[in-house]
Amino acid sequence: MERLCFLFEIRPGTEAEYKRRHDDIWPEMRDALKAAGLRNYTIFRRGAQMIAYVEAPDVEAALAEMGASDVNRRWSEWFEDVVVGLVDERGELQRAEQVWHLD
């Protein structure tokens, strides 16, 4: 299982709204994430900084599948007023390098 950790920011003052939207995640979004092979998807927050962690058998394939899905496009549009930016200027996730892991 591959692991991915990435970081992004939300707009200050939108913390409660960001959480509310995830508390009510669309069933079709949950289904798409699982169908793409994503598991153990967790998002942590520290102020306006978000730290996301996810596992998949093939992270790149899962991200590509999600990136091509209509539900992901609609979900991303719905969060445009909350998320500052999910990717850098090259369109890449701002990944954190794994240093150590304990099973």
Nearest to 37 by CA among 55, 16, 20: 55
For this structure, is 101 an active site residue? no
20 CB neighbour count, 10 Å cutoff: 10
How many residues would you count in the chain?
103
Amino acid making up residue 32: A
Q: Of the listed 3, 20, 22, 34, which one is catalytic?
A: 22
Question: Known catalytic residues?
Answer: 22
